[in-house]
């Protein structure tokens, strides 16, 4: 019924994982020589995999059944190194994603960038709006209330659910939690486009 | 008065630029062998720069005077490969950023991910709220209205300005434009934290 899970190829997924390490190194290491040593090591690993791309295997592959065929989004795609990537799973009447974000997602010191918070919520709510639909709904409005900070390098949970439906309109709500405390609340409206 | 521009080191900035190319290749190239050839080429360039990191120079370095010392944010940092990176400049009574986003920022086909739209707006408004202040304001609420799609791989403009101030509160508004047409509108409240 729904288009099935994305199908990142092992070489794509492996390379994206190594690229995420490279991004972390870039923002973590201030010293040029120390960074150069890390980059040299990562380049060697990229090069080795590229020499035998069909021999690459991935431990614990990222599999997220969703409504985005061939997912390349910066939120949930295993092959997009911008994406953490989010693994969204059903949770009661809604969906959730548990994850820990490294330093490349930081805004204020120690906190996830407010825009990355918005990215995760928008993506999870789009997922919730679209999972039982043959087509993808589009964000119409989204409001975020930042009650508290969302920490970097600590486990956080993004939760979202459908509040109500009116024809092609779906109203949704979300939260980000840390230590069982709500840090961010959000609500928004998604619209299912008319058939082309 | 404001902390000065970030100071990405040339090797950091160069490596981040190459990493952005790698991210684009990962989401653009479906064929494993074709991707492997691109990864091998990029790995060789990373490796060559790492062998002589102090000899690296960067053409047209990214310099954005802002209120974020040693900027590593996923929006405007030259050394964070997640960041486009945004170059924010004064524009009339506010600020603007002109940019073109490649495929790794896509949500719906052909369109920038709604969460990336939120990231750019949140970051530009945080910049506008903080530029004439000794400290950084924090997002309290942000509301986004997606009137239309924001295209991938086409020039777009993010604009933002202060609507009014009330003590430590700053109310801001923003737009994303493409072809002189408003595609996204936003408004939000930023708060200057009390001195620690």
Output the six-digit token pair for B60.
């047209």
Decide if pLDDT at A1 tops 50.
no
Picking from A53, A79, A115, the nearest residue to B123 by CB comes out as: A115
pLDDT, one tens digit per residue, over A86-136 is 999 999 999 999 999 999 999 999 999 999 999 999 999 999 998 877 778
What is the pLDDT, as a whole number, of residue B42? 98
Taking the CA of residue A187 and the nearest CA in chain B, the distance in Å comes to 10
- For residue B178, what are the contacts with CB-CB under 8 A and spacing of at least 6? B150, B151, B154, B155, B156, B157
| Residue in A40, A70, A138 closest to B50 by CB | A40
| Structural contact between residues B137 and B127, judged by C-beta atoms closer than 8 angstroms | no
The alpha carbon of residue A96 is apart from the nearest alpha carbon of chain B, in Å, by 17
pLDDT of residue B8: 67
Task: Kindly tell me if the per-residue pLDDT of B47 is higher than 50.
Answer: yes
What is the Cα–Cα distance from A125 to A138, expressed in whole angstroms?
A: 10
Residue A157's SS3 state is strand
Please name the residues in contact with B157: beta carbons below 8 A apart, sequence gap of 6 or more: B96, B97, B98, B176, B177, B178
pLDDT at A166 over 70: yes
Strand order in the sheet with A89-91: A89-91, A94-100, A155-166, A169-178, A181-191, A138-146, B138-146, B181-191, B169-178, B155-166, B94-100, B89-91
For residues A148 and A131, give the distance between their C-alpha atoms in angstroms, rounded to a whole number: 30
* Pairwise CB contact (< 8 Å): B32 & A12: yes
Q: Distance, in angstroms, between B62 CA and closest chain A CA?
A: 16
Question: CA B125, CA B172: separation in Å to the nearest integer?
Answer: 7
Q: pLDDT digit string (tens) for B63-84?
A: 888 878 889 999 999 999 999 9
**Predicted pLDDT of residue A3:** 42
Phi, psi angle pair for B100, to nearest 5°: -130, 125
Nearest to B53 among A19, A36, A119 (CB): A36
pLDDT at position B158: 98
Contacts of A60 (CB under 8 A, 6+ apart): none
pLDDT surpasses 90 at A14: yes
What is the C-alpha to C-alpha distance for residues B164 and B156, in angstroms, rounded to an integer?
26
Q: What are A163's two structure tokens?
A: 């509040």
Q: pTM here?
A: 0.95
Which has more confidence, A9 or A30?
A30
What is the band of B6 on the pLDDT scale with cuts at 50, 70, 90? very low
DSSP A56: -
Kindly state the tokens that stand for B166. Answer: 């009330």
Percent of chain B surpassing pLDDT 90: 85
CA distances from B57 to B8, B52, B65, B81, B111 (A): 12, 11, 20, 17, 34
The yes/no answer to whether this complex scores an ipTM above 0.90 is yes
pLDDT of residue A6 exceeding 60, the answer is no
d(CA A148, CA A152): 13
């Amino acid at each position: 019924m729904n288009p099935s899970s994305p199908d990142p190829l092992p070489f794509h997924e492996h390379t994206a994982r190594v690229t995420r390490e490279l991004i972390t190194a870039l923002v973590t290491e201030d010293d040029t020589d120390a960074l150069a040593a890390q980059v040299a090591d990562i380049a060697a690993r990229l090069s080795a995999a590229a020499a035998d791309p069909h021999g690459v295997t991935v431990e614990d592959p990222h599999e997220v059944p969703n409504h985005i065929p061939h997912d390349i989004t910066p939120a949930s795609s295993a092959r997009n190194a911008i994406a953490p990537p989010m693994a969204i799973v059903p949770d009661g009447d809604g969906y959730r994603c548990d994850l820990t974000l490294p330093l490349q997602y930081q805004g204020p010191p120690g906190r996830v960038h407010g825009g990355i918070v918005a990215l995760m919520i928008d993506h999870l709510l789009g997922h919730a709006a679209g999972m039982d639909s043959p087509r993808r709904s589009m964000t119409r409005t989204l409001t975020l209330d930042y009650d508290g900070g969302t920490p970097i390098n600590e486990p956080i949970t993004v939760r979202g659910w459908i509040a109500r439906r009116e024809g092609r309109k779906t109203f949704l709500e979300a939260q980000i939690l840390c230590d069982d405390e709500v840090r961010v609340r959000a609500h928004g409206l998604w619209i299912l486009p008319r058939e082309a």
